[in-house]
Each structure stands twice: as C-alpha cells, then as structure tokens.
C-alpha cells in the first residue's frame, strides 16, 4: 500500500462494539499514517534542497507561507501584545509595579504567546490551504497519476510544503515577539502612563537566550505538526467537494489541538 493512500473497509460493522473498535483502529491507523508521512517527508528534505525543481518549489512555498501571511500575523501579534499589556498592566498598577510591565509582556511573548499566535495563524491560513489543495488533487486523481508515473507524492508534494513551514515558523514567531512587544509598548504609553524607554528597558532586562530558544523550538515543532497533519488530511480526502471541506476543517482542528498539547509538553520539559 502506498503511503499516500488511505485504507478502506470491506463492510460496515454490525454491532455497536464493532463500530467502536473500528473507530479506535481508524484513529490508530491515522496516527501511524501521519507518523509515516512525517518521517518520510523529513527524510526527503535533502532531496528538496538538492534538486533545482525542489528548490524552486521551496521558494514558492516560502513566499506563500511567510510573505503572504505577514498581514494576518502582524495584526494578531500586535493585538496579542496589546491585550497582554493591558490585562497585566491593570493588575500591576494596583501594586504600583507598572515599571515591570515590559518584562511581563516580553516573557509571555517569548515563552508562549509568540509561538502560539504564529502557530494558530499558520494553521488557519497555510495548513487549511495545504489540506484543500492536496485534497482537491486527490479527488481529481492527480495524486494517482503521480503514482502511475512512479513519482512519490510525499516527496514531490509534501516535503517542500512541510520544509517551508519548518523554516518559516521560527522567523514568524520571532517577528510576532517584536510586533507584540511594540503593541504592548503602545498600550503602556497611551493607557498606563508608562514611559516607553522604561518599558523597553524592562523588556530587555528580562529577555534571556533560553527563553528565545524555547520559543523558536516551539515554533519549529508547531510548523512541522501543521505541515504533517495538513498533508495527511489532504491525502486522505474522499467524497469530492464535501470531503475537501471536511479535510480542511479536520486539519485546522487537529493542528490547534496539537499546538496546545505540544506547547504544554515543551514548556514542561524546558522549565522544570
């Protein structure tokens, strides 16, 4: 069985127990298939960089993943920083500790909110597009045509898209931290009467290399998860246009859930 082809059942279950068991087996099969596609895609990264056509595809996907999502990422990160600054600043003002606002905003953005906001934007904008594009190709038998020509759909279609997400995610997360910090500084200056220079000094005093690296690692893992889940859902699409919509929805939902779960696990491992 090809890695990009989903298995099918011969007949419907006749009992509720059989239906539950089949559902469990289907979930385990999807997890295993997702892991196989992820491993095979990562193993194919060097071939993407070596082939001229692969590099051209990578550049095109980097543009669609990074440049075209910048407006959404900018707005989301700006208002994320503003919301964090407003909520934290109002509480700090009760204890006359507003000068610590920059440190609180910077720490929250570097450790969690920057990678989280970046991951959510990529899952909604890029992951859904990947699932829809590959799903449309699947129902139109374009992926089957690649298999007939002995071209691996995972190496040809999945690897450049996943590699683009892995490369662009940490850069966008760093950009989210910068824009979010500036947004928090605007709120601090205009609504909390905190000097902007004092705000920046407080933010820079708390910034540590470990926090930056943890945030970039989170963003890289999020990019890999979004890419693998979206590609897997696209390859598993059936039932025409209805299936394309369902695969797109499932890719976004699963990406959101995995971002939350892996974000917690990475934080737990890095900050014991």
Per the CB < 8 A criterion, the answer to whether 154 and 33 are in contact is no
CA distance linking residue 102 with residue 57, whole number of Å:
41
More confident residue, 10 or 242: 242
Other CB atoms within a 10 A radius of the CB of residue 122 amount to 30
CA distance linking residue 220 with residue 204, whole number of Å:
24
Residue 4 scores a pLDDT above 60: no
Q: Please state the pTM of the whole predicted model.
A: 0.88
Instruction: Give residue 5's pLDDT.
Output: 55
pLDDT, tens digit, 9 for 90 and up, residues 5-46: 555 554 566 677 767 787 788 788 888 888 999 899 899 899
Instruction: Give residue 149's pLDDT.
Output: 87
Which two three-digit tokens encode residue 142? 């374009």
| Mean pLDDT of all residues in 171-182 | 93
Instruction: Give residue 141's pLDDT.
Output: 84
The candidate with the shortest Cα–Cα distance to 247, out of 265, 266, 232, is 232
pLDDT, tens digit, 9 for 90 and up, residues 63-92: 988 888 999 999 999 999 999 999 988 888
Per the CB < 8 A criterion, the answer to whether 196 and 188 are in contact is yes
Provide the CB-side half-sphere exposure for 93 (13 A, CA): 11
Instruction: Give residue 8's pLDDT.
Output: 52
Tell me the three-class secondary structure of the chain, residue by residue: CCCCCCCCCCCCCCCHHHHHHHHHHHHHHHHHHHHHHHHHHHHCHHHHHHCHHHHHHHHHHHHHHHHCCHHHHHHHHHHHHHHHHHHHHHHHHHCCCHHHHHHHHHHHHHHHHHHHHHHHHHHHHHHHHHHHHHHHHHHCCHHHHHHHCCCCHHHHHHHHHHHHHHHHHHHHHHHHHHHHHHHHHHHHHHCCCCCHHHHHHHHHHHCCHHHHHHHHHHHHHHHHHHHHHHHHHHHCCCCHHHHHHHHHHHHHHHHHHHHHHHHHHHHHHHCC
Other CB atoms within a 10 A radius of the CB of residue 135 amount to 27
Percent above pLDDT 70 for the chain: 94
Domain-wise residue ranges, the chain: 16-270
Per the CB < 8 A criterion, the answer to whether 164 and 62 are in contact is yes
| Mean pLDDT of all residues in 212-216 | 91
Instruction: Give residue 2's pLDDT.
Output: 54
Mean pLDDT, rounded, of the chain: 87
| Mean pLDDT of all residues in 118-135 | 92
Which two three-digit tokens encode residue 233? 């859902």
Instruction: Give residue 1's pLDDT.
Output: 39
Q: Given pLDDT bands bounded at 50, 70 and 90, which one contains residue 148? A: confident
Residue 54 scores a pLDDT above 70: yes
């Amino acid at each position: 069985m090809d890695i990009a082809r989903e298995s099918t059942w011969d007949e419907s279950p006749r009992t509720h127990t059989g239906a539950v068991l089949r559902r469990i087996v289907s979930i385990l099969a999807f997890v295993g298939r997702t892991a196989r596609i992820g491993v095979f895609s990562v193993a194919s990264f060097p071939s993407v960089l070596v082939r001229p056509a692969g590099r051209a595809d990578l550049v095109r996907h980097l543009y669609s993943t990074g440049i075209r999502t910048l407006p959404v990422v900018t707005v989301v990160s700006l208002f994320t920083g503003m919301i964090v600054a407003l909520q934290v600043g109002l509480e700090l003002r009760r204890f006359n500790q507003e000068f610590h606002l920059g440190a609180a905003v910077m720490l929250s953005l570097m450790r969690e909110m920057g990678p989280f906001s970046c991951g959510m934007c990529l899952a909604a904008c890029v992951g859904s597009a990947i699932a829809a594009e590959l799903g449309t190709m699947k129902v139109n038998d374009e992926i089957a045509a690649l298999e007939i020509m002995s071209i691996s759909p995972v190496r040809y279609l999945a690897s450049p898209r996943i590699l683009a997400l892995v490369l662009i995610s940490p850069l966008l997360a760093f950009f989210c931290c910068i824009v979010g910090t500036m947004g928090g500084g605007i709120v601090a200056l205009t609504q909390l009467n905190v000097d902007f220079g004092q705000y920046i000094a407080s933010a820079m005093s708390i910034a540590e290399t470990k926090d930056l690296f943890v945030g970039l690692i989170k963003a890289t893992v999020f990019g890999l998860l979004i890419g693998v889940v979206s590609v897997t859902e696209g390859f598993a699409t059936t039932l025409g246009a209805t299936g394309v919509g369902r695969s797109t929805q499932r890719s976004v939902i699963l990406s959101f859930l995995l971002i939350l779960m892996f974000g917690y696990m990475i934080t737990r491992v890095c900050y014991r």
